[in-house]
Amino acid sequence: MTAGESSGSVVRRILLGSQLRRLRESRGITREAAGYSIRASESKISRMELGRVSFKARDVEDLLTLYGVTDGAERDSLLALAREANLAGWWHSFGDVLPGWFQTYVGLEGAASLIRIYEVQFVHGLLQTESYANAVVSRGIPQATGAEVDRRVALRLERQKILVSERAPHFHAVLDEAALRRPYGDRGVMRGQLQHLIDISERENVTLQVMPFNFGGHAGESGAFTLLRFPESDLSDLVYLEQLTSALYLDKREEVTQYERVMDRLQEDCPSPSDTRDVLRGLLQLI
């Protein structure tokens, strides 16, 4: 199974969940009632509708019956979507070091056609060198064994392959200058990371900008976030907000729009991608 196919399974899971939600709401059925019909809780229905869990064929069949879907072709189509949604992604082999709440994001990241991020603490994972990633993981999880650190770094490097794949998304990153000045690893690690940013920013599908200290206060005051857009017209844009032990996925149009406006302002207020490379070269000379 290729990374693209496994990422597609996440998209199918979310598509199926959204379709089940629309069917339920069109019938005026509560999540509690839907959960009762499949011998599950209201929270289980919520997770299904958000595409956070796998789907049992029996549960989908019972929900379709409850929602009045009797057309054979429509039922077969949705059940086929459930089977495809349950395909395991490549990242499942990293289950020993990959939190369950992050697995959905990895799949969505791999399926996106546009990824826009703002990062303030450190260089974003898709842009990290192996040595820098090793330093970030070691600092962030001091109790991790050497083997665990290696596995987490390997996962990060595997994720980065989407930027050079045939179906590479457009990746637009805004990094706060703080992320570039905060040292992870020794001077050699930081020099290598800055040079990598200069090099990768030359790729056609990568746009990199730095928000400099001297700009002062800016639109990204709420902290780091990720915006994801997908080629599938039925899949809404998403905002991903990572927390210490979980994550939030926002898909309400009004919420996504607010983050889009912040990202637009950040991009407008930052030096251009070309000028950003000059900023990076300047920082490189200081190390």
- Check residue 188 and give its pLDDT: 97
Rounded to 10 deg, the angle between the 57-66 and 72-85 helix axes is 150
Q: Kindly indicate the confidence band of residue 1, based on its pLDDT and cuts at 50, 70 and 90.
A: very low
Is the alpha carbon torsion for 231, 235, 237, 241 positive or negative?
Answer: negative
d(CA 220, CA 158): 28
- Tell me, what amino acid is at 221? E
> Which of 1-5, 25-29, 202-206 is predicted least confidently?
1-5
| Radius of gyration of the chain from its Cα atoms, rounded to whole angstroms | 21
- Check residue 235 and give its pLDDT: 77
3-class SS string, the chain: CCHHHHHHHHHHHHHHHHHHHHHHHHCCCCHHHHHHHCCCCHHHHHHHHCCCCCCCHHHHHHHHHHCCCCCHHHHHHHHHHHHHHCCCCHHHHHCCCCCHHHHHHHHHHHHCCEEEEEECCCCCHHHCCHHHHHHHHHHHCCCCCHHHHHHHHHHHHHHHHHHHCCCCCEEEEEEEHHHHHCCCCCHHHHHHHHHHHHHHCCCCCEEEEEECHHHCCCCCCCCCEEEEECCCCCCCCEEEEECCCCEEEECCHHHHHHHHHHHHHHHHHCCCHHHHHHHHHHHHHHC
- Check residue 2 and give its pLDDT: 40
Rounded to 10 deg, the angle between the 3-26 and 72-85 helix axes is 140
Q: Kindly indicate the confidence band of residue 47, based on its pLDDT and cuts at 50, 70 and 90.
A: confident
The pLDDT of residue 3 is above 80: no
**Which among 2, 201, 200 has a CA at the least distance from the CA of 110?**
2
pLDDT tens string 61-102: 999 999 999 998 889 889 888 887 777 677 778 888 888 778
pLDDT more than 90, % of the chain: 65
- Check residue 5 and give its pLDDT: 42
- Check residue 199 and give its pLDDT: 97
Q: Kindly indicate the confidence band of residue 8, based on its pLDDT and cuts at 50, 70 and 90.
A: low
Q: Kindly indicate the confidence band of residue 211, based on its pLDDT and cuts at 50, 70 and 90.
A: very high
